[in-house]
Every structure is written in structure tokens, then in C-alpha cells.
């Protein structure tokens, strides 16, 4: 195999791994957003219950 082909393949492998890492990071951040949203909903539901109990 030509030297230039090997270099090109190695470069693509690095680029591919970078893309994988980027998407994994985005997935982690999306999961954190879901968790924050779920916590906010829980907070609001608890507040609603407290207010209803005041009636």
C-alpha cells in the first residue's frame, strides 16, 4: 500500500474518532438537559400540590 494512502487512512481514522467523541459529548449534554427539565417539572408539580393544599 502506498505511503500516501496509509497517511490518508490514518487521518480519516482520527477524524472519525473525533466525530464519535463529539456525538458522545452531545448525547451526554442532551441527557443532562433532560434531567434538568425533569427536575423542574417535579419542582413545579410539588409547588402545585402545596398551593392546592392551601385551599
- Give me the number of domains the chain comprises: 1
| 28: its cell numbers | 451526554
Instruction: Give the span between the Cα atoms of 51 and 39, in whole angstroms.
Output: 18
CB under 8 Å, gap of 24 or more: what pairs does 19-23 form? none
Domain boundaries, position 25? 1-55
Strand locations in 1-55 (E): none
Chain segment 13-45, per-residue pLDDT in tens: 999 999 999 999 999 999 999 999 999 999 999
CA 16 to each of CA 21, 23, 26: distance values in angstroms, whole numbers, following the listed order: 9, 11, 16
- pTM of the entire structure? 0.71
pLDDT tier at 1, thresholds 50, 70, 90: confident
Amino acid at each position: 500500500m502506498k505511503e500516501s494512502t496509509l497517511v490518508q487512512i490514518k487521518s480519516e481514522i482520527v477524524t472519525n474518532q473525533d466525530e464519535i467523541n463529539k456525538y458522545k459529548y452531545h448525547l451526554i449534554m442532551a441527557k443532562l438537559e433532560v434531567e434538568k427539565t425533569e427536575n423542574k417539572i417535579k419542582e413545579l408539580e410539588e409547588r402545585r400540590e402545596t398551593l392546592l393544599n392551601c385551599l
